[in-house]
Amino acid sequence: MTAPIGILGGTFDPIHNGHLRMAVEAQEQCGLNEIHFIPSGTPPHRSAPHASATDRLHMVQLAVHNNHAFIADQRETYRTDACYTVDTLIALRGELGSQQPLCLLLGSDAFVQLHTWNRWQQLFELAHIVVMQRPGQPLGNMLAKSDPTLLKEYSARLAPSPKALHESPAGHIVVLNIPALEISSTDIRWRCVEGKNIHYLVPDTVAHFIQNNPYTTC
């Protein structure tokens, strides 16, 4: 069986160094062959992004262009209907085959809301789920306050190590510890509004793009 492929979705409004560091941690700890960064077109769970879909995709392309294992995936960018993760995974499965291990990368905040996602239990048929846990925010404590059905799935599917991701195409949950990088797209947008420096929060190529397109994210 080939090495797993990671899927990291989000609005990326804009993409920042926290996103990129999270991807590096997932790649190293899980032995991922590559990671697809998928900017959402029309996210169903939140208000419309500030930047256009085209600009958000372009910023992702700028951010990952020097890393051959990071791929800017435009499959959701130009869709005008709601973009559900389950549909994106179905499409990837159709392209990559039934035996390719896929890993959906989620922050712990997103994972504890997984039960609110469209056809969420089908996700486990399509991919493994890798949960990125920050220091001081143990996932178990967060799940104790979440949905009982999600907690049941978590308990049944939790794997002891990332090795399990290489042994089957889908179905496991793996929890990783990652460094705390307190960077948020919201904070970056406010810094843009206030004319503050955003270097070292985003890649230089992204900072340059935002500086030359001041209405992109503000």
For residue 37, list its beta bridge partners: 8, 72
User: Would you state the pLDDT for residue 119?
Assistant: 96
Contact 193, 218 (CB under 8 A): yes
User: Would you state the pLDDT for residue 217?
Assistant: 57
Q: What is the DSSP string of 38-104?
A: EE-SS-TTSPPPSS-HHHHHHHHHHHHTT-TTEEE--TTTT--S---HHHHHHHHHHHH-TTS-EEE
% of the chain surpassing 90 pLDDT: 74
pLDDT digits (tens, 9 = 90+) for 47-75: 678 898 899 999 999 999 999 999 999 99
CATH number of this structure's domain 5-212: 3.40.50.620
User: Would you state the pLDDT for residue 182?
Assistant: 83
User: Would you state the pLDDT for residue 45?
Assistant: 63
In whole angstroms, give the CA distance from residue 151 to residue 115: 10
User: Would you state the pLDDT for residue 136?
Assistant: 78
User: Would you state the pLDDT for residue 20?
Assistant: 96
- Asked if pLDDT for residue 147 goes beyond 90, the answer is yes
- When computed from its CA atoms, the radius of gyration of the chain, rounded to whole angstroms, is 17
User: Would you state the pLDDT for residue 70?
Assistant: 98
User: Would you state the pLDDT for residue 216?
Assistant: 62
Domain ranges in the chain are 5-212
User: Would you state the pLDDT for residue 181?
Assistant: 81
The average confidence (pLDDT) of the chain is 92
pLDDT band at 32 (very low <50, low <70, confident <90, very high): very high
3-state secondary structure of 37: strand
| Mean pLDDT within 177-195 | 89
User: Would you state the pLDDT for residue 102?
Assistant: 98
Given the DSSP bridges, would you call strands 34-39 and 70-72 parallel, antiparallel or unpaired? Answer: parallel
Interior CA angle at 56 toward 84 and 187, to 5°? 100
pLDDT digits (tens, 9 = 90+) for 74-123: 999 888 888 899 999 999 999 999 999 999 999 999 999 999 999 999 99
